[in-house]
Structure 1
Amino acid sequence: MTIATIAALVAEEAEHHGNVALETVWYGLVAAAVFAALALVTASYRNVANRHSDKAEAYAKAHANDVQQAGHGH
């Protein structure tokens, strides 16, 4: 056998005729799972300000004199 014949046999053996889309589908599934988990974390912070609105109103009433009303061009 010559070197060219061995190289041809090695190249023929190394070829892979699989479905690349099916081999990489796991990357998409993992990414979708990560984004779904992040969406759940983001959704858990929904309406947080309204959960403590009574505390915010009580603080605003107690510290009404401490707040300076300064708008644009103060």
Structure 2
Amino acid sequence: MTLATILVFAAAESGTHGNVALETVGYGLTALGIFGTMALVTVSYRNVANRHSRKADAYAEAHANDVQRAGHGH
């Protein structure tokens, strides 16, 4: 027997192939769950800078002289 005939017999014995799209639904649901979780984490960090604006203003006022104003990062 050659390799080709062995492969033909192995393919013939498997019989039914089933629905390949249905077999891979789990991967899609897993990816949807992971991306949904990452989206929730991203949304939870929304507007964080404005929660502490009083602290940011105080820090900016205290360190106003530390910033060089040369323009365009020069």
The DSSP-based 3-state class of the residue aligned with 1:69 is coil
Deviation for aligned residue 1:21:
0.6
Unaligned stretches of 5+ in structure 1?
Answer: none
Amino acid at match of 1:27: Y
Q: TM-score, normalised by structure 1?
A: 0.76
User: What count of residue pairs does the alignment treat as equivalent?
Assistant: 71
C-alpha separation in 2, matches of 1:44 and 1:21: 34
Identity of aligned residues (%): 68
Q: How does 1:31-70 map to 2 (within 5 A)?
A: 31-70=31-70
Q: Which runs of 4+ in 1 moved over 6 A?
A: none
The DSSP-based 3-state class of the residue aligned with 2:13 is helix
Q: TM-score, normalised by structure 2?
A: 0.76
Structure 1 pair 36–9 and aligned structure 2 pair: CA distance change class (3 A): same
**CA deviation string 1:7-42 (max 9, x = no partner):** 565432223320111011110000000000110111
C-alpha separation in 1, matches of 2:30 and 2:72: 48
Larger Rg: 1
Higher helix share: 2
